């Protein structure tokens, strides 16, 4: 890394005709770009995902946090939960956002990864099947089981990170892992519950994610600017 600070910019992500708000960070010489798929009832402003994004940026990786739902959809979902478990919709939004990334000259050619939390993990796995440019996926406290029949089709190297005290989700992740045919691994963070709120546990999850992406992205990239 050059030691220069990452460039940050607010972006409008166009996903299959739907405009979504996003925040893009790209350090000089970025080794790749990680798109975040937030979990049920969350948004790009999620404190936990922003913490993870900062760790990834410090590791030389670009990040794109964006809202999978429009403001109107979020206003409905907060009362009805109509959209947060709509995996096909979330998958289409993430895949469409990836298409937008691929059309941006300043981002073209970067290796791509997905970071999914909760239901966003299922969307990340499903969308990766349609986007071969995505070489790595990390799930934090995710529900990969909700990806269902697409699990054997996933080709992106996948890391499943689960809290050691999140018993039900550990079981669901193990079931999903057994159905996958790609490079995949389950990492359990001792003492962590579903939201990784215990001291030091989110840091461990973020470090695992950074290591996974760094290990699957190219070793170097040209210096880029998002100005």
SS3 labels along 92-146: HHHHHHHHHHHCCCCCCCCCEEEEEECHHHHHHHHHHHHCCCEEEEEEECCCHHH
What's residue 84's pLDDT?
73
What's residue 75's pLDDT?
78
Measure the CA–CA gap between 71 and 91, rounded to whole angstroms. Answer: 18
What's residue 42's pLDDT?
62
Is the overall model pTM greater than 0.85, yes or no? yes
Terminal alpha carbon distance of the chain: 19
Burial class (CB in 10 A: 0-12, 13-18, 19+), 69: buried
CB within 8 A of 91, min separation 6: which ones? Answer: 122, 123, 126, 127
Measure the CA–CA gap between 199 and 175, rounded to whole angstroms. Answer: 28
Length in residues, the chain: 227
Measure the CA–CA gap between 200 and 141, rounded to whole angstroms. Answer: 15
Domains of the chain: 24-216 (3.40.50.1820)
How many C-beta atoms lie closer than 10 Å to residue 11's C-beta?
16
Q: Which pLDDT tens digits describe the chain residue by residue (227 residues)?
A: 456 677 899 999 999 999 999 999 999 989 899 999 986 656 677 789 999 999 999 999 999 999 988 888 877 877 777 677 789 999 999 999 999 999 999 898 899 999 999 999 999 999 999 999 999 999 999 999 999 999 999 999 999 999 999 999 999 999 999 999 999 999 999 999 999 999 999 999 999 999 999 999 987 544 444 43
What's residue 72's pLDDT?
83
């Amino acid at each position: 890394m050059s030691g220069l600070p990452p460039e940050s910019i607010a972006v409008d992500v166009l996903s299959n005709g739907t405009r979504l708000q996003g925040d893009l960070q790209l350090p000089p010489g970025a080794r790749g770009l990680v798109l975040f798929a937030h979990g049920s009832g969350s948004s790009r402003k999620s404190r936990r995902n922003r913490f993870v994004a900062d760790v990834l940026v410090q590791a030389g990786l670009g990040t794109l946090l964006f809202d999978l739902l429009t403001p109107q959809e979020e206003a409905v979902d907060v009362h009805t939960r109509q959209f947060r478990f709509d995996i096909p919709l979330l998958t289409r939004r993430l895949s469409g956002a990836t298409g937008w990334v691929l059309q941006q000259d300043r981002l073209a050619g970067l290796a791509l990864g997905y970071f999914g939390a909760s239901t966003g993990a299922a969307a990340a796995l499903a969308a990766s099947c349609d986007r071969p440019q995505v070489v790595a996926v990390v799930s934090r406290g995710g529900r990969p089981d909700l990806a269902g029949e697409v699990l054997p089709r996933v080709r992106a190297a996948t890391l499943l990170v689960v809290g050691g005290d999140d018993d039900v989700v550990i079981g669901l992740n193990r079931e999903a892992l057994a159905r996958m045919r790609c490079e995949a691994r389950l990492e359990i963070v001792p003492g962590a519950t579903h939201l990784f709120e215990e001291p030091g546990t989110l840091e461990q999850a973020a470090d695992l994610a950074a290591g996974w992406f760094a290990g699957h992205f190219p070793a170097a990239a040209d210096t880029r600017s998002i100005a």
